[in-house]
Structure 1
Amino acid sequence: MTDTETTPLLEVADIETCYGLSQVLFGMSLSIRSGEMVALMGRNGMGKTTTVRSIMGLTPARAGTLRFSGRDVRKLPSFRIAQLGIGLVPEGRQIFPNLTVRENLVAASHNRLGSSDPWTIEKIHAMFPRLAERGNNMGVTLSGGEQQMLAIGRALMTNPRLLILDEATEGLAPLIRDEIWNCLSMLKAKGQSVLVIDKNVGNLVRIADRHYIIERGRAVWSGTSAQLIAEPDLQHRYLGI
């Protein structure tokens, strides 16, 4: 096995993050290898979104290690972290409401890392046909499910090495959720590295390689899908299931 295969694409080690005087992360750690899909799970308010914001530099960690593709990124500004190859689908989608669907996709389009098979609008349309139908519609007119599809498409148009989805299917209709999970399965098959946050344990254990459970700002368990399924008490204790 080569160093490239063993070195994590993303390494988060012992990070501490605060909002003002309120500390949220207390030594949070996780890692993602290239081509791996990893799930971050936990009850509301335990630090999942803060972990994502720390990775992206939106709420910088005050201590610990954040390395992406072998580079220390903890003190980099958010735009530089994104440019290194991390695409974010944020909680709440945050699409551009006054741009059309097509403009939202084009605005983010970039093959900065020189992918030999980059994402295009046509490929996004093939994955989410509804976006093709809504191409000239303003973002503000889309349903919640359509906005989530657009947010995923917009992130993919940056051709990221790592895709992060915060609350991938939260608040979506069942049929839309199925489309999102099918999309994630397809991305996994393509070898896309993914960090996904969601509450649907059944789907997460089906498609994710490994899982982390966060409790009060630190990872309290990590393991494979088989290991998580074999310990149902974990789900009851930490996820409220």
Structure 2
Amino acid sequence: MTLEINNLNVRFGTTDILRGVNLSVMKGSIVGLIGRNGAGKTTTLRAIMGLVKPTAGTLAFDGVDLMRAAAHERTALGIGYAPEDRRLIPDMTVEENLCVPAWALKAKDINARLENVYRVIPEARDFGPRRALELSGGQQKLVAMGRALMTGTRLLMLDEPFEGVAPALSKRIAEVIGQLRGAGKSILLSGA
């Protein structure tokens, strides 16, 4: 098993956002979190990444207690996250945006990671010298997925990867996800 969540609760102020969430993601599987807006899909992903603090429950990744791990330690375990709003740095080039998480990890194999992203998402190489703000929303989604791949060597989490994307790019994103599954990567994605 790769990711195991048991009885996870998250509260913002006095409002319970997640109550008793249980979820398992097995190695090499694709698991979808489906629900309406406000159902807690993004909060679940953010809790796994350590961006929000659970009030109860357990989170474990290959036996590592994520409740005790800082966000950067979770990334170092091989977890990558592409948020719904992409969070690209607009004035940086696409290649710089791809490299940011690996730079933060002080990874020794940045070029190899980048080449892997280019192998999976060849469009990212073409976008490389362009500033992120020059890309369409769908192209930015591909870049955000590539950035998550820079650290998501074992588990890739994609928040609403098809939201607001043209049909042709949605098909391309689905192809990339299928290719990653075939490579044995675990994928957790959310959608409405």
Same-fold status (TM-score > 0.5) = yes
Taking structure 2 as the reference length, the TM-score comes to 0.90
* Distance in 2 between residues matched to 1:176 and 1:60, nearest whole Å: 34
Which has more helix, going by share of residues? 2
> Where in structure 2 are the equivalents of 1:1-241 lying within 5 Å?
8-109=1-102, 120-199=113-192
Q: How much has 1:92 moved relative to structure 2?
A: 0.5
Contact 2:81 2:152 in 1 (8 A): no
Cα gap change, 1:20 to 1:44, in 2 (>3 Å): same
Taking only the aligned residue pairs, the percentage that are identical comes to 40
Q: How far apart are the structure 2 equivalents of 1:81 and 1:173?
A: 32
**Cα distance, 1:68–1:197 mapped onto 2, change above 3 Å:** same
How far apart are 1:119 and its partner, in Å?
A: 5.3
Output the CA distance in 2 between the equivalents of 1:25 and 1:194.
21
Structure 2 distance, partners of 1:127, 1:85, is 17
Structure 2: unaligned runs, 5 residues or longer: none
Query: What displacement does 1:106 show?
Result: 2.3
* Separation of aligned partners in 1, 2:98 and 2:47: 25
User: What whole-Å deviation, never above 9, does each CA across 1:159-189 have from its counterpart, x for those lacking one?
Assistant: 5211000101100000000000000110011
Q: Distance in 1 between matches of 2:124 and 2:146?
A: 9
TM-align CA RMSD: 2.0
What is the Cα deviation at residue 192 of structure 1?
Answer: 0.7
Query: Residues 195, 159 of structure 1: CA spacing in aligned structure 2 closer, same or farther, 3 A cutoff?
Result: closer
Cα shift at 1:85: 1.6
* C-alpha distance in 1 between matches for 2:54 and 2:112: 31
Question: CA offsets per residue over residues 100-122 of structure 1, 9 Å max, x none?
Answer: 01111222337x7x9xxx95333
AA in 2 matched with 1:172: V
- Give yes or no for contact 1:119–1:157 (8 Å, CA) kept in 2: no
**Structure 1: segments with no counterpart, 5+ residues:** 1-7, 200-241
Moved more, 166-175 or 37-46: 37-46
**Other structure's SS at 1:151 match:** helix
Confirm or deny: 8 A CA contact 1:89 1:165 kept in the other structure. yes
Q: How many residues align?
A: 188
**Counterparts of 1:80 and 1:142, CA distance in 2:** 31
The residue identity in structure 1 corresponding to 2:126 is: E
Structure of greater Rg: 1
Q: Secondary structure at the match of 1:74?
A: helix
Q: In structure 2, what is the equivalent of residue 239 of structure 1?
A: none
Change (3 A) 1:126 1:83: closer
d(CA) in 1 for partners of 2:68 and 2:90? 31
